[in-house]
Amino acid sequence: MCIRDSNWGYYNGDYPTLQELYKETENVLATHPDLKITFCHFLFMSPDIQQADQFLSDYPNANLDLSLGVELMYNISRNHEAYREFFIKHDDRILFGTDIGMSTTQPEHLARIWLIRNFLETDEQFHTVPEADELLTRYEQPYHGLNLPSSSLEKIYAANFKRLWC
């Protein structure tokens, strides 16, 4: 299935560009420096690790949520070593998130969970499993797990959320 056909994108030309949205976001954060906020889907910065690093440096109250989509895992896998260092450096600013509810069957849910855990917890190169729904199977190149240390995993999976919202 093509993303364009699924109505998940902004292809009509009547929406702001991603760069315009980043500028608006930065204006809000600059105007409200004490605002604690978490941006889902890594704020769609996974193709550009320098942009993500600069963003977290510039806005100390901003956090990034993984809501691991396949494009995020794919982009990070293409720059595996640098992103592993990034995740460890910013492990207190990255939160676990998921769109697992978007799948429709238990095998699809379990496939999504397996992908996320394999991505964060191992150093394996892997593809989506056959049980995964079609939205997770659009790349031919493998993903590459980050093999994060347990201290980083604990922060990403739970501690950062508890610190911010409990």
Q: What pLDDT, on a 0 to 100 scale, did the predictor assign at position 68?
A: 72
Answer whether residue 108 is part of any domain.
Answer: yes
pLDDT band at 1 (very low <50, low <70, confident <90, very high): very low
Please state the domain count of the chain: 1
What's the pTM?
0.87
Q: Say which residue, 50 or 110, is predicted with more confidence.
A: 50
Q: What pLDDT, on a 0 to 100 scale, did the predictor assign at position 7?
A: 57
Average pLDDT, integer, range 93-117: 82
Answer whether residue 138 is part of any domain.
Answer: yes
Q: What pLDDT, on a 0 to 100 scale, did the predictor assign at position 71?
A: 86
Answer whether residue 76 is part of any domain.
Answer: yes
Answer whether residue 20 is part of any domain.
Answer: no
Instruction: Give the model confidence (pLDDT) of 77-97 as tens digits.
Output: 999 999 999 999 999 999 998
Answer whether residue 94 is part of any domain.
Answer: yes
Give the least confident one: 60-69, 81-90, 124-133. 124-133
* Distance separating alpha carbons of residues 4 and 82, to the nearest angstrom: 31
- Show the domain range for 143: 36-165
Average pLDDT, integer, range 16-44: 94
Answer whether residue 127 is part of any domain.
Answer: yes
* Distance separating alpha carbons of residues 108 and 98, to the nearest angstrom: 13
3-state SS record for the chain? CCHHHHCCCCCCCCCCCHHHHHHHHHHHHHHCCCCCEEEHHHHHCCCCHHHHHHHHHHCCCEEEECCCCHHHHHHHHHCHHHHHHHHHHCCCCEECCCCHHHCCCHHHHHHHHHHHHHHHHCCCEECCCCCCCHHHCCCCCCEECCCCCHHHHHHHHHHHHHHHHC
Answer whether residue 136 is part of any domain.
Answer: yes
Decide if pLDDT at 5 tops 70: no
The answer to whether 84 and 108 are in contact (CB under 8 A) is no
Answer whether residue 17 is part of any domain.
Answer: no
Q: What pLDDT, on a 0 to 100 scale, did the predictor assign at position 101?
A: 67
Q: Say which residue, 53 or 71, is predicted with more confidence.
A: 53
